[in-house]
Amino acid sequence: MINSRNLSQRGLTCQVLNLRSSHFRKLNMVGNFSHLRTLNLDFSSSLCSFREDCFTCMPNLKCLSLCETRIANLWTTNSALSKLPSLVELRFQHCLCCDDTGPHPASSGGKSTDSCQLDSGLCVGAPSPFDGDYFWHMNTEEADIYDEVESTFDDSSDSEVDFTNHCREPNMLEAGCDVIPAWNGLVDLQSEISFGPLPMQDEDESSSSCNSKRISSFVPKRYISCHPSPICYEKHYREYMIASLPSLKVLDNLPIRKIDRERANIIFSQHFEYLPYRRKKKENVVSILHNREIKAGCNHSQNWKRKPLYVSAMSQYSYSRSLSAAKVGSTAWPLLHPLSILGSVLGGENRNFRPRQFEYHPSDSSLMAFGTLDGEVVVINHENGKIVSYIPSLGAMNGVLGLCWLKKYPSKLIAGSDNGSLRLYDIKHISSRNKGIHSGVHSVNFDDFDQLTSVHVNSTNDWFVASGYSKNVALYDIGCGRRLQVFTDMHRGHINVVKFANHSPSIFATSSFDQDVKMWDLRQKPIFPCYTASSTRGNVMVCFSPDDYYLLVSAVDNEVKQLLAADGRLHLNFNIVSTGSSQNYTRSYYMNGRDYIISGSCDENVVRICCAQTGRRLRDISLEGKSLEDNSMFC
């Protein structure tokens, strides 16, 4: 009998390994599986990701099935699958012909079929390695090893390797494509999807109307997909897989023809970036640094000999881009740095903070300030995990919802809480073990702004603005510590975020759940906006690009757009797939200058990185697993 806990370490000599309905979260197989030809992981509902090298021990694996798992990330999945040089058939869902009683004929080892067979849906040839009856045709040494694996069921979702034979009884759709009857209108299709985009439903539609529309739109004319893994919902999933895995011949029971691969390559180039800044091949960080030193040496030598330069030196910005591309290209798995926020404050007392808002320091990249739901403000060095300054709530603040550093005075920041309290702090005079006795000496109080949600300082550090659950925006003078004016009725709904431009001290933008984004100029009396731009859903936030050339607008449920800051015209729509949730609040920011944007939503455990010039997706980063604890943040 084989112990499931060391199965992945020892390996097996069988050619077919059936691990349907297993309970493990992350696949990590490092033993000897060189004889393995077929691996079935269908209905492993806890499986959400792969270890980077989990398939390197399977050089001869040809067929892999992953229906109804939790696999969702295109990038890490493709990176893991690229270690399978012999893979020709891959399945994340069952794809059936509507008028057929079995899988598409191409699933039988990837054999080609003519157009007549495709249209008629005839099932010909040998059974697929994934079909239910296939295991009846195997030799003894290829037998299903379920009965050989020791049953050690583990309810913990954090167990990374747990092979188990606790299989739920498959229904007619699960049992295999060869036993599914012809569609007669009696089969419940609500759990099935098509290859098309998910339809959006209006919130005021009745549930019965939603269900009927969902069923009719999910059933294509020729093919029906059932038991999909979440990765199948990703936009251009099929094209991405075909373009990224050149040896693949069959995907989801459908053959990959030459025209399919050509189309996939075109779509991939339109919607995805292989490497940052359109790099065509991966670069080595050491090589980039070596080339920089060589060119620097050439320049120094030529200057010393007073000869003209013939070597064109790259700018520091170009080297920065090259290094960024090399780092991203080195692995699809991001280096997540868990930041423990269980700090030692108050004379040695340990506090378990509950962060709500955070802002990176404008000049020291190692520092970050975060506000908590308990009204505390903490400045931490996220590189070494040490608390630099701690500001207790003192009973005056509730949850901190607004934070903003002063760029000209980098030791000062403004914090605003949801009860309207506004304060300016100088962290240079506040230690990490501050007991709060004299903290008021190094802070400035401003007039309250009721139900505050956002604060932001202008480029000259003269003023800051505040917004909240109202239609108003308040302007404050930082130097004299008082409120100058309240601009009323600037939107039809409450103003979620207000942001000053990075270089123009009088220009600011507001975003509201009334679906409008407006640009304002303090040099004109802000009764009428410079312009108004609208979204189809409520706007969660807005921010300027570092050079003030663009506005990045984020609306509910992944509606992310880039506008020209000059007049509000649409420059780019990032076309991130929506979830259909009206509570999926989305925020987006610029990164690495204005080269890329990073976007995340509260109902999803993924952040997306897209090119700010083309809109193409560079990478999705999944944030899940046992390392995501309540007292951790990720940088």
Based on the fold, state whether residues 456 and 348 are members of the same structural domain: no
pLDDT at 422: 94
Q: Kindly state the tokens that stand for 219.
A: 């059933």
**Does position 409 have pLDDT exceeding 50, yes or no?**
yes
Answer yes or no: is 237 within a domain.
Answer: yes
Looking at the DSSP assignment, which residues form a beta bridge with residue 387?
380
Q: Kindly state the tokens that stand for 143.
A: 């037998």
pTM of the entire structure?
Answer: 0.72
pLDDT at 354: 86
Cβ–Cβ under 8 Å, residues 28 and 162: no
Residue burial 293-310, b: 16+ Cβ < 10 Å; e: rest:
eeeeeeeeeeeeeeeeee
pLDDT at 184: 30
pLDDT tens track for 229-257:
999 999 999 999 999 999 999 999 999 99
**Helix, strand, coil percentages for the chain (3-state, nearest 5):** 20, 30, 50
3-state SS assignment for residue 168: coil
Residue 555 has phi, psi (to 5 degrees) of -110, 170
In the chain, the percentage of residues whose pLDDT exceeds 70 is 62
Cβ–Cβ under 8 Å, residues 484 and 478: no
Cα–Cα distance between 88 and 75 in angstroms, integer?
19
Answer yes or no: is 299 within a domain.
Answer: yes
Cα–Cα distance between 624 and 47 in angstroms, integer?
12
- In the block, tokens 């294509």 appear at 220
> Which amino acid is located at 102 in the chain?
G
- Residue 29 CA from chain centroid, whole number: 26
pLDDT at 145: 44
pLDDT tens track for 289-330:
666 666 655 554 555 444 443 334 455 556 666 666 666 666
Q: Kindly state the tokens that stand for 443.
A: 């802070």
Query: Bigger pLDDT: 472 or 11?
Result: 472
Based on the fold, state whether residues 160 and 218 are members of the same structural domain: yes
Answer yes or no: is 276 within a domain.
Answer: no
Q: Kindly state the tokens that stand for 81.
A: 């699958």
State the helix-helix crossing angle for 74-81 and 237-244, rounded to 10 degrees.
Answer: 30
Answer yes or no: is 33 within a domain.
Answer: yes
The confidence band for 427, taking pLDDT boundaries of 50, 70 and 90, is confident
- Residue 606 CA from chain centroid, whole number: 3
Answer yes or no: is 508 within a domain.
Answer: yes
pLDDT tens track for 166-220:
444 344 333 333 333 322 332 233 333 333 333 333 434 444 444 333 333 333 4
In which element (H, E) is residue 608 found?
Answer: strand 606-611
Based on the fold, state whether residues 517 and 629 are members of the same structural domain: yes
| 382-401 average pLDDT score | 82
**Does position 84 have pLDDT exceeding 90, yes or no?**
yes
pLDDT at 594: 85
> Which amino acid is located at 353 in the chain?
F
**Does position 83 have pLDDT exceeding 60, yes or no?**
yes
Q: Kindly state the tokens that stand for 547.
A: 């050079």
pLDDT at 25: 80
pLDDT at 196: 35
Answer yes or no: is 8 within a domain.
Answer: yes
Based on the fold, state whether residues 80 and 192 are members of the same structural domain: yes
Query: Bigger pLDDT: 202 or 465?
Result: 465
pLDDT at 588: 96
| Domain boundary, last residue among 240, 271, 302 | 271
Instruction: Count how many domains the chain has.
Output: 4
**Does position 266 have pLDDT exceeding 70, yes or no?**
yes
Based on the fold, state whether residues 375 and 493 are members of the same structural domain: no
> Which amino acid is located at 236 in the chain?
H
Looking at the DSSP assignment, which residues form a beta bridge with residue 424?
414, 444
> Which amino acid is located at 633 in the chain?
M
Based on the fold, state whether residues 120 and 173 are members of the same structural domain: yes
**Does position 612 have pLDDT exceeding 70, yes or no?**
yes
State the helix-helix crossing angle for 316-330 and 285-304, rounded to 10 degrees.
Answer: 160
**Does position 633 have pLDDT exceeding 90, yes or no?**
no
Based on the fold, state whether residues 225 and 305 are members of the same structural domain: no
Cβ–Cβ under 8 Å, residues 460 and 445: no
Looking at the DSSP assignment, which residues form a beta bridge with residue 560?
554
- In the chain the first and final C-alpha atoms are separated, in Å, by 44
pLDDT tens track for 534-552:
999 999 999 999 999 999 9
CATH number of the domain encompassing residue 14: 3.80.10.10
Based on the fold, state whether residues 72 and 167 are members of the same structural domain: yes
Residue ranges making up the domain that contains 292: 281-330
Cα–Cα distance between 563 and 542 in angstroms, integer?
10
Answer yes or no: is 198 within a domain.
Answer: yes
pLDDT at 622: 84
pLDDT at 281: 65
Cβ–Cβ under 8 Å, residues 29 and 54: yes
Q: Which long-range CB contacts under 8 A does 314-320 form with residues at least 24 apart?
A: 319/288, 319/292
pLDDT at 608: 93
Based on the fold, state whether residues 540 and 460 are members of the same structural domain: yes
Other Cβ atoms within 10 Å of 432 Cβ, number: 18
Based on the fold, state whether residues 242 and 323 are members of the same structural domain: no
Answer yes or no: is 480 within a domain.
Answer: yes
Average pLDDT, the chain: 75
pLDDT tens track for 334-368:
666 666 655 555 455 666 788 888 999 999 988 99
**Does position 53 have pLDDT exceeding 70, yes or no?**
yes
Q: Where are the beta strands (DSSP E) in 150-300?
A: 223-226, 250-251, 254-255
Based on the fold, state whether residues 311 and 230 are members of the same structural domain: no
Based on the fold, state whether residues 366 and 355 are members of the same structural domain: yes
| 582-592 average pLDDT score | 93
- In the block, tokens 């189809």 appear at 536
